[in-house]
Each structure stands twice: as structure tokens, then as C-alpha cells.
Amino acid sequence: MAVYKEKINFAINNISKEYVFFEKNDENSYPFVSYLKFYSNNKVGIFSIHKSDTLKLTRAHFNPSKATMGYYFIEGNKMKIKFSIVFQCSHQILREKATINKDSITTLQSGHSGTIYVKRNIPIAYLENWKPDW
């Protein structure tokens, strides 16, 4: 019943190995915030919710039919996630490696960029009794 909210995006400079962080609170950043919701049977969904709606979340925001579908696999504090994405009239599989650290999850995409998600307290009534259809 946990939900993880996108907090920080980052990029890694391949030459200097320096990290550049992009806070999601910046006014010039993408107008949507992503939430990760994990289900039984190794299923995970990403919910992209408009920033203005994050102050008044409802149960409808977490309907699995609105999520980008994915699967996760955990070994210790390491996780692998695969998402099925339809983008510009094509189908792609996005693969991410992730690390679990207490109440946060850090994902890394192809070694160049990533996201830090932080566990959020969402009313249980918004999350329970949903079953993903994938």
C-alpha cells in the first residue's frame, strides 16, 4: 500500500562523473509528477499526475488503468524494473535499475540519468482494492 513520489531527477556527466540534480519543485520543470505504486505479482505502475492536482489527490488518480504498466524484481536492496511505454507511435521497454534505501527508491536509466522517489503517506482508501489489468 505504499506510494513513492518523484522528488529529484538527476543526470550524470559521463566524463567527469558529476551529478546534476533537478528538484521537481522548480517552476520551470515538467508540469507532471510521477508516483510509483507497487502491486502483488511483481507489478508496478507509474502514475503521472499534474502538479496542481498533487495538493488534492483523490482515489481516481490511482486507478491502475491510468498507469504506465511495469514489472519489478527485487534482490536484497536492489531492484530491476521494466516499463512498457507507447511513445510517438512506437512501443518501447524502459529498463531501470533501482536501489531501495529506507523510505526512498533511486532509479537509474542506462547509467546517464535517474530519479529519486520518496515514500508518501496517501490515504489507504485511495490505494486499496485496485487490481492492475496487466
Query: pLDDT, tens digit, for every residue of 89-101?
Result: 777 788 899 999 9
- Residue 9's contacts (CB-CB under 8 Å, 6 or more residues apart) are 21, 22, 24, 29, 113, 114, 115, 116
pLDDT of residue 51: 86
Kindly state whether residue 114 falls inside one of the protein's structural domains: yes
Kindly state whether residue 35 falls inside one of the protein's structural domains: yes
pLDDT of residue 26: 53
Kindly state whether residue 58 falls inside one of the protein's structural domains: yes
C-alpha cell at 8: 529529484
Kindly state whether residue 37 falls inside one of the protein's structural domains: yes
88-95, long-range: CB < 8 A, 24+ apart: 94/70
pLDDT of residue 31: 82
Kindly state whether residue 64 falls inside one of the protein's structural domains: yes
Lowest mean pLDDT among 21-25, 56-60, 99-103, 117-121: 21-25
Range of the structural domain that residue 18 is part of: 3-68+100-127
**Domains identified in the chain, total number:** 1
* Dist. CA 121–CA 72, nearest whole Å: 21
Kindly state whether residue 86 falls inside one of the protein's structural domains: no
Kindly state whether residue 78 falls inside one of the protein's structural domains: no
pLDDT of residue 16: 83
Over the stretch 27-85, which tens digit does the pLDDT of each residue have?
Answer: 556 788 999 999 999 999 999 999 888 889 999 999 999 999 999 999 988 999 999 88
Kindly state whether residue 84 falls inside one of the protein's structural domains: no
* Dist. CA 19–CA 108, nearest whole Å: 12
Total residues found in the chain within this entry: 134
CB 62 within 8 A of CB 123: no
Residue with the larger pLDDT of the pair 54 and 110: 54
At which residue does the C-alpha cell 505504499 appear? 2
pLDDT of residue 9: 87
Q: Is the pLDDT of residue 125 over 60?
A: yes
pLDDT of residue 21: 83
pLDDT of residue 91: 77
122-128, long-range: CB < 8 A, 24+ apart: 122/3, 122/57, 122/62, 124/1, 125/59, 126/57, 126/58, 126/59, 126/61, 126/62, 127/1, 127/3, 127/37, 127/62, 128/1
